[in-house]
């Protein structure tokens, strides 16, 4: 078993700013490419959600909750399709209905932004 001094020395070596900076710098291009790919997918969704919320005259403090619903459905759409996607979207709608959001707006977001008709 290592002593306290050995463990501390190993920790200091791992967290040395020069070493950490070198590792982050090496990973930076991959990290930026991943972020750019994510932004290219999510930004149009966020803009479409914002447009629907403005048309529905949803109060600005509540809009973030609708954006959270839309992001959850977007994640489901990346993972599921067909009947499974509809079931997942309905479960997300039920979850947000329980939190006090308007059913009509949730249904419109699902249909207009994601093309999902909720029952």
* pLDDT per residue as tens digits for the range 60-84: 999 999 999 999 999 999 999 999 9
Tokens of 38: 């994510």
Smallest CA-to-CA distance from 51 within 78, 72, 70, 76 is with: 70
pTM listed for this prediction: 0.79
Residue 11: left if φ>0, alpha if ψ -120 to 50, beta else—which one?
Answer: alpha
Contact by Cβ (8 Å): 96, 69: yes
Give me the residue spans of the domains in the chain: 4-114
112 pLDDT band, cuts 50/70/90, is very high
The answer regarding whether domain 4-114 maps to CATH 1.10.287 reads no
Helical segments of the chain, H only: 4-14, 17-55, 60-79, 82-98, 103-114
């Amino acid at each position: 078993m290592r002593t306290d001094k050995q463990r501390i020395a190993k920790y200091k070596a791992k967290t040395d700013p020069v070493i950490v900076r070198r590792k982050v710098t090496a990973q930076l291009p991959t990290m930026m490419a991943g972020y750019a790919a994510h932004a290219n997918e999510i930004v149009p969704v966020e803009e479409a959600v914002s447009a629907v919320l403005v048309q529905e005259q949803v109060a600005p403090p509540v809009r973030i909750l609708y954006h959270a619903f839309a992001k959850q459905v977007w994640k489901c759409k990346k993972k599921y399709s067909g009947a499974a996607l509809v079931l997942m979207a309905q479960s997300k709608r039920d979850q947000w209905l329980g939190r006090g959001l308007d059913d009509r707006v949730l249904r419109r977001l699902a249909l207009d932004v994601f093309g999902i008709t909720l029952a």
